Amino acid sequence: LACYLLTNLPLATLLFATYATMMASLYSKAAAVLLLAASATAFVPPSSSRGVCVEPLCMNKQKKQRPKVNTNKGFGGGSSSSSTTSSALESDMLIRPKTSSNFKYAGSIRPGLQSPKRIVPSEKIKLPDYALDGQPKNRPALFPWVIETKKPEEIEKMRASGRCAREVLDLAGREVRPGITTDEIDRIVHEATIARGAYPSPLNYHNFPKSCCTSVNEVICHGIPDDRPLQEGDIINIDITCYLDGYHGDCSEMFVVGGETAADPVAKRLLQTTYDCWVKALNFVKPGNDYKDIGAIIEDHVTEQGFTTVKSFCGHGIGSVFHTNPNILHYRNSEPAGKMAAGHTFTIEPMICENGANYLMWPDDWTATTKDGGRSAQFEHTLLITPEGVEAMTGKIETSPVQFWERDSKVHTGLWLGTTPSAKEREAKLNS
């Protein structure tokens, strides 16, 4: 294409002038997401740690110091085989996260002490390119509408990593109860991931210190597991990604500490609304549809229920690279994110808030909470588009629990596995 344009300078001039005009129109919108800039800079966020950011962030990717690597025992700094719980760790082994004495937290959650990074046996586990130095090497395509189409053999590997992530997420969810710490959940996640021959994708991704994200109450996303015990009535999102045989599988789910009866009426309504808007968006996915239209489906549903959708973080393409094109915005937009096609793999993961959707970044440069302290909820699947529709590559399995929002949903009753005939067949068996 470059050679052709060089020999057809008038056409090249016209194409680039048209593109510049389109981009200028996009950048003129105060609330527009800078998709092209985000892709070109590997989703690097602004340096400010407060206020509202409108870049489409998948993970907060500010530069951090490179960790020391233990070359004798494997990657990481903790023990992946230890059965010691967080509560039993000696205080001098715990790490106090970066804080500020004058920082004003929005809600009741505060950063706790963290155990050291856990070990990954590098001689047994295939590592992603960022495992040792924290820096992902592969970047998204320059244009946000350029989306990788997976080959059949890649799809099979992603089915395996998706199944792995689902098993680990279900295992972590079963451990949610009053008194357990999120650090203990992280240990369980880490060990379960390693036992399946996979690498816990969040670990050391841009130097993230843990093997999963645990976001409690007002934490929107990227909560770092620590020694705070969960309390009855808390709502928690557990976000799991497993890197297996060179491919990532990414999913998250909400849990109520103490079960359905421990949730107050507003929490129940928030969880139900978040799940229902998510399923509506999932059902929209099929070849030929525009990725940008996902956001309006989500925003229209949640605003009708009196809630808000976060605009500062987004869903993303996924495969051998953790975060890539397309960017999935969870609010009404007109961004050029491309059209859906068979072979695309990506996530939809709306973050819905009971009050305002503006976020506050903690001094640890990872934890994002609502700015007003209101609670937030989120669900996520890794999805595969096929000629017949869409399938959840991280869909629930025979041993997965049915949550009350799945049972009571008026959008889709029971477990959701996709819209293809094969997905519907599996879904019917699980829901029978």
Q: How confident is the model at residue 92 (pLDDT cuts 50, 70, 90)?
A: low
pLDDT at 104 over 90: yes
Contact 412, 391 (CB under 8 A): no
The Cα–Cα gap between 351 and 379 comes to 8
With tokens 């799945």, the residue in question is 406
pLDDT > 70? residue 42: no
- Give the pLDDT score at 101: 87
d(CA 5, CA 255): 54
Mean pLDDT of the chain: 85
> What is the model's pLDDT at position 80?
37
Length of the chain counted residue by residue: 432
Lowest mean pLDDT among 19-28, 92-101, 265-274, 408-417: 19-28
Q: Residue 109 pLDDT more than 70? A: yes
Residue 91 has pLDDT above 80, yes or no: no
Give DSSP secondary structure letters for 294-319.
HHHHHHHHHHHTT-EE-SSB-EEE-S
- As a dihedral over the C-alpha atoms of residue 260, residue 261, residue 262, residue 265, rounded to 10 degrees, the angle is 90
pTM for this predicted structure: 0.82
Across 226-244, average pLDDT? 98
Which whole-number Å values give the CA distances from 13 to 7, 143, 237, 264, in the listed order?
Answer: 11, 18, 49, 60
Q: Residue 111: pLDDT above 90?
A: yes
Could you give phi then psi for residue 101, rounded to 5 degrees?
A: -65, -25
